[in-house]
Amino acid sequence: MANILIIDDDDLMSAVLQQMVRDMGHDALCARTLREGLASVSAQPFDVVFLDVHMPDGNGLDHLPRIHDLTNAPEVIIITGSGDPQAAELAIKSGAWDYIEKGATLKEITLPLVRAIQYRQEKVEARAKGVTSLKREGIVGNSSRIAECLDLVAQAAANDSNVLITGETGTGKELFARAIHANSGRASGTFVVVDCAALPETLVEGLLFGYEKGTFTGAEKAREGLVGQANGGTLFLDEVGELPMANQKAFLRVLQERRFRPLGGSKEVESDFRLVAATNRDLDAMVQEGRFRGDLLFRLRAFTIELPPLRERHDDIKELARFQTDRLCERYGLGPKGFSPDFLSALCEYPWPGNVRELVNAMERSLASARFEPTLFSKHLPIEIRVRAARASLDHETSVGVSVPQPELPTFRQCCEDACDRAAQEYLHNLLAATSGNFAESCRISGLSRSRLYALLNKHKIKL
């Protein structure tokens, strides 16, 4: 039996959803405001949350990340009276399970709920079997975003599919690649790193596939390539978006056949490697621009892990700062360091465009500034972080005094639409009055379907 929360100010919709959930044999709790709903989901565990978009005290989509970041976060199904493709895209990208319009049938609402509950149960069972008990050396943090990525690492490590890890610079793509290798059946093999951004275009094939003695001037002895060295282990292509176009076709064949010919060689050589690639580039856009092969991209991303930027892992910042400080103090022979509240506050205010890599650098510079002082204060932080904290504080203090601009005259089209809305609203009030609120009779008289009439009532905030 699952526990379902319905956050919706529409009494009729809430009652319909609550009855539907209970008929399915699950528990249902209703909240009429975002504040009430967020308090409920923070206080007790729920499996699924139905979340309305337009609420009396705010927009439900704005609070989706907050729900998503909770420990053991529920699956969220957005349900709204006004469908918007852009809002649907935002919802899915923010972690929503599905996006449904209120005019949908009960069957169309039930199916996503059933699947969300099934997914959650299987996820809990997998965790209970210890699937996510990973070797995660260097991966610090326990936020929900990192937990999701570690779940994907566990899934990837259980098979030999090619993996593409995406994310901004400094998010830890190589650490996650190493975690996949360390938790796979190839852990005893070699983890070979290929930095595609540092490969000289004229030497790419020689470095990847190796060469025979005398193949070119300076080849005084045969050399095994990086692909051959990864035999039995993992080949990690870092910044794969930088792989020269001319060499992508050759590498595509290697991926398909796991065979290649060293430069100057007469025979092909086999290499049983597992491929993990990483990039901070938009490879789909590069394919559209003709700068990356589409067939190679399809091969690379049999399995994808998208790493979140540090600004979306707010709960991990303090833990990362503590871990890096302790590590650096040990390296430099310094005593343990404490953090003042203003130091931690400045860390949390900063957006970290360089992500974890920038945080490590900031901690190193702070320690160099503090030297033998036992406590780190904001004064010890790099100047750009202190400036950001100061500006954020000033913006917060002055935001109350911002003047509100006067509304502009609407366009003619907007004026017509407003008039139509007023006419429709008046008609609906008269319709319900004439039928004493009988929904079936209202549909018969108006000629509207049940879902269309319901959507119009919801749009104009008319309750039965």
Domain holding 453: CATH number?
1.10.10
For residue 98 the two structure tokens come to 């599905």
Give the count of beta carbons closer than 10 Å to the beta carbon of residue 247.
15
- The mean pLDDT value for 387-404 works out to 60
Residues 9/14/15/16 CA torsion (nearest 10 deg)? 140
Gap between the Cα atoms of 29 and 450, Å rounded: 26
Average pLDDT value for the chain: 86
Statement to judge: residues 270 and 374 lie in one domain: no
Q: What pLDDT score was predicted for residue 282?
A: 93
Strand order of the sheet with strand 274-279? 191-195, 234-238, 274-279, 163-166, 303-306
**Residue where one domain finishes, among candidates 287, 309, 331:** 309
pLDDT band at 46 (very low <50, low <70, confident <90, very high): very high
Q: Whose CA is closest to 145, among 59, 66, 62, 63?
A: 66
Contact (CB, 8 A) for 376 and 368: no
Q: Whose CA is closest to 50, among 133, 109, 107, 115?
A: 109
Gap between the Cα atoms of 81 and 455, Å rounded: 6
User: Does 248 map to a domain?
Assistant: yes
- The mean pLDDT value for 421-437 works out to 79
Identify which has the larger pLDDT, 241 or 218. Answer: 241
**Exposure string (b/e) for 189-208, b if CB count within 10 Å is 16 or more?**
bebbebebeebeeeebbbbb
Statement to judge: residues 176 and 290 lie in one domain: yes
Q: What pLDDT score was predicted for residue 54?
A: 87
User: Does 21 map to a domain?
Assistant: yes
Q: What pLDDT score was predicted for residue 401?
A: 46
Q: Enumerate the β-bridge partners of residue 375.
A: 338
User: Does 91 map to a domain?
Assistant: yes
Q: How many domains is the chain partitioned into structurally? A: 4
Report strand pairing: 27-31 vs 3-7.
parallel
Q: What pLDDT score was predicted for residue 399?
A: 46
- Return the SS3 of 446: helix
Distance of CA 379 to the CA centre of its chain: 33
CATH code, domain carrying 350: 1.10.8.60
Gap between the Cα atoms of 206 and 227, Å rounded: 10
Over the stretch 123-138, which tens digit does the pLDDT of each residue have? Answer: 777 665 544 468 888 8
Helix (H) or strand (E) holding 59: strand 58-59
Helix (H) or strand (E) holding 142: none
DSSP state of 381: S
For residue 184 the two structure tokens come to 């796979």
Q: Is 58 exposed, middle or buried (0-12, 13-18, 19+ CB in 10 A)?
A: middle
Over the stretch 48-58, which tens digit does the pLDDT of each residue have? Answer: 999 998 888 88
Over the stretch 66-121, which tens digit does the pLDDT of each residue have? Answer: 888 777 789 999 988 776 777 788 788 778 899 988 878 888 899 999 999 998 88
Q: What pLDDT score was predicted for residue 123?
A: 75
Give the sign of the dihedral formed by CA 342, CA 346, CA 348, CA 349: positive
Q: Percent of the chain at pLDDT above 90?
A: 43
For residue 216, is pLDDT > 80?
no
Q: Enumerate the β-bridge partners of residue 210.
A: 224
Give the count of beta carbons closer than 10 Å to the beta carbon of residue 165.
30
In SS3 terms, 310-367 reads as HHHCHHHHHHHHHHHHHHHHHHHCCCCCEECHHHHHHHHHCCCCCHHHHHHHHHHHHH
Statement to judge: residues 68 and 108 lie in one domain: yes
Cβ contacts of 243-247, under 8 Å, gap ≥ 24: 243/196, 243/199, 243/204, 244/199, 244/201, 244/204, 245/291, 245/292, 245/293, 246/201, 247/201, 247/204, 247/205, 247/208
Statement to judge: residues 265 and 357 lie in one domain: no
Where in 199-348 does DSSP place strands (E)?
210-211, 223-224, 234-238, 259-260, 269-270, 274-279, 303-306, 338-339
Q: What pLDDT score was predicted for residue 372?
A: 86
Identify which has the larger pLDDT, 418 or 307. Answer: 307
Statement to judge: residues 186 and 286 lie in one domain: yes
User: Does 60 map to a domain?
Assistant: yes
How distant, in Å, are the alpha carbons of 183, 277, 333 from that of 157?
Answer: 6, 14, 37
For residue 106 the two structure tokens come to 């009960």
Statement to judge: residues 85 and 218 lie in one domain: no
pTM across the whole model? 0.66
Gap between the Cα atoms of 445 and 441, Å rounded: 6
Statement to judge: residues 211 and 150 lie in one domain: yes
Q: What pLDDT score was predicted for residue 411?
A: 67
- The mean pLDDT value for 369-389 works out to 90
Statement to judge: residues 103 and 47 lie in one domain: yes
- Parent domain of 70: 3-127
Least confident of 50-64, 251-265, 415-429: 415-429
Contact (CB, 8 A) for 222 and 210: yes
Would you say how long the chain is, in residues?
464
Statement to judge: residues 227 and 175 lie in one domain: yes
How distant, in Å, are the alpha carbons of 91, 171, 313, 387, 403 from that of 348?
Answer: 25, 17, 10, 13, 29
Statement to judge: residues 304 and 323 lie in one domain: no
Contact (CB, 8 A) for 138 and 173: no
Over the stretch 431-442, which tens digit does the pLDDT of each residue have? Answer: 887 887 787 888
User: Does 350 map to a domain?
Assistant: yes
Over the stretch 168-208, which tens digit does the pLDDT of each residue have? Answer: 999 999 999 999 999 999 999 999 999 998 888 778 888 88
